[in-house]
């Protein structure tokens, strides 16, 4: 069992390294700035190029944490008050994709890929 634990730890370490290197290797994606202010995403709708990965750079100007989440795009990230967090998003097919603030579901935003 100890060997199993050691092996899984090693595996975890290796995969972490691999992930970080892959993250490095990929060219810096286009950054799309969004702010959370007064419990609203601004802008509430952003346009991106289809077929190209990008990053949502979310700045939270409120005093409460926001959790930017899209089940469809598989991201889920907390943005603490006063902080800016970058969220990587894969290349999208043309279409509209919704994201929400999971801590305040009435706050929704849209990504339009075209």
Partner 1 sequence: MGATFVVVLREGFEAALLLGIVYAYLAQIGHPESRRYVTLGGALAVAASIVMGVAVSLLSGPLADVGPDVIALVVIFGAVALLTWHGWWMGWHARELRGALQRRVDAAHASHQLWMVGLIAFTGVFREGAETVLFLWGLMTQIEDLTGWAALAGAAGGLLGAVGLGWLVFQGGRRLSVLRFFGVTSFLIMFLAAGLFSAGVGRLQGLGFLPGGDPLWDTSWLLDDHGNAGGFLAGLIGYRARPSVLEVVAYVVYLAGAGMLFFPSVFRPGTRRNGDVTEPAQTSRV
Q: Which is nearer to partner 1, 19 or 44 (CB)?
A: 19
Chain position carrying tokens 């050691």? 6
Restricting to residues 41-80, name those near partner 1 by CB under 8 A: 53, 63-65, 67, 69, 71-78, 80
Beta carbons of 79 and 65 less than 8 angstroms apart: yes
Residues 6+ apart with CB under 8 A from 102: 67, 68, 69, 76
Q: Which residues bind partner 1 (CB under 8 A)?
A: 1, 4, 8, 12, 15-16, 19-20, 22-23, 26, 53, 63-65, 67, 69, 71-78, 80-81, 83-91, 93, 98, 100, 102-105
């Amino acid at each position: 069992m100890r060997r199993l634990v050691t092996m899984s730890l090693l595996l975890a370490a290796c995969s972490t390294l691999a992930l970080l290197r892959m993250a490095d290797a990929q060219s810096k994606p286009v950054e799309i700035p969004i702010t959370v202010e007064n419990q609203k995403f601004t802008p509430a709708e952003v346009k991106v190029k289809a077929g190209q990965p990008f990053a949502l750079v979310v700045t939270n100007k409120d005093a409460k944490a926001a959790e930017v989440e899209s089940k469809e795009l598989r991201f889920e990230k907390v943005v603490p008050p006063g902080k800016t967090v970058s969220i990587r998003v894969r290349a999208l097919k043309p279409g509209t994709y919704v994201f929400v603030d999971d801590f305040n579901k009435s706050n929704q935003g849209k990504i339009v890929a075209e």
